Amino acid sequence: MAIITIAEAASLAGKSQKTIRRAVAAGKLKSTKIQNKTRIEKEDFDEWVLNGCCGTEEQDNNVKRDDEVNWIDVSAEWTKDGWRDKNDLNGYNFIDLFSGAGGLSCGLVMAGFNPIASVEIMPQAVETYKYNFIEKQQFNENVETRDIREQSVKDNLYESVKDKKVDVIVGGFPCQGFSMAGYRVVDDPRNSLYKEMKDIVEHLQPEVVVMENVEGLRSMLNGKVEEMIIEDYKKIGYDINLTVLNSADYGVPQYRKRVIFIGNRVGKTNYHPKPIYDESTYVTLGQAIAPYMTMPENTEINHVFSKHTKEMQERLAAIPEGKSLYKNYSDAWKKSPWDKPSCTIKENHGGTNVHPKLPRCLTARELATLQSFPADFIFKGSKKWQLVQIGNAVPPLMGKAIGLAIKKMLDE
């Protein structure tokens, strides 16, 4: 595990050392003491950057935006669900790049779209995707564990969809490399994944492209990354509109903000879904996980309890709602309030979510419910990999809202 100093963190973030120390003191940036000196794990630093925490001072002041957003009401179509009823499918096809377990794909199917291919490198996530989309839902699509950077993978993808119309390509490309200091955006090998997605879009020429990413991307390199994405897609014929959506606004029992890029090459209006819920109508954590309060363990549905000592159970029970077990780790071992949407579900290394009423951590099933996955959506792999897949996923209901907005664009 790489360890960095305060000075190194400041250099990487393009911040002052004072700003880094403030973040550490506030518990926003995890740190540890080594020989009485403050040290930061690089993984914790990267997560802090990606969550937008390093943009709270001078960076945010420098990046002022007035997004040009074309909001559209999708509430009239909200009761339709292509995941439950194939009669609600609308005939439009999509490809999901970096699909993970299939959160965004599930949401688009709910909105009526038909999946024809996906690309994902994590074997456990591919196993989950195949089980839910092919074995259970009987979709006919090309799904394999594959690295999008390999030309053979792209060629196989192109061959598999050559006789089908590709209406939409979606993907949440990794963006850790964009947080590096300076403007050497293309130097980080992880950024090649962004380029690979753009190349696939340019080759297949879908009418619509959708990109999802963490809110912190907007402040990376003082907004230069966002500008680069818009300009790059303009060069290949796509006009882009973007804004930040909060999953709670679309019935997800969780606060989760993501920047959503929507672009098209056919002169249509890029629509973003107008919020359907508000603070007074949000679905709460309690409403979502109440059915599991008295349910015994069930490995078949990913409902497996963590094993805690009696002492740990007492400590978990004593955590006030909205607080964390450890004072210096505000987002780890956190107990979200019962009567509000959950805090953001993460992939769970250091991001454990504590049950508000019971002396244990939330199960994978409960966390999947807080992500708005259907109750019969089953995750494969060990519990560790189930939690990673759930934490990395796009909430399906937010994906559904995006899909319904895209459908209105395509229908015009």
Active site residues: 175
Helix (H, G, I), strand (E, B) or coil at 165: coil
State the DSSP code for 374: -
Count other Cβ atoms within 10 Å, centred on residue 230.
16
353 DSSP β-pair partners: 334
Residue 149 has which token pair?
């950077």
Contacts with 126 (C-beta within 8 Å, 6 or more apart), sequence order: 120, 143, 144, 145
Contact 122, 100 (CB under 8 A): yes
Expressed in angstroms, the distance from the first to the final Cα of the chain is 52
| Closest alpha carbon to 101 in 318, 395, 333 | 395
Single-letter code of the amino acid located at 234: K
| Closest alpha carbon to 178 in 210, 122, 222 | 222
Contact 176, 50 (CB under 8 A): yes
Task: Please classify residue 205 by burial: count the beta carbons closer than 10 Å to its beta carbon, then call 0-12 exposed, 13-18 middle and 19+ buried.
Answer: middle
Contact 342, 336 (CB under 8 A): yes
Using only C-alpha atoms, what is the Rg of the chain?
21
Residue 108 has which token pair?
């688009």
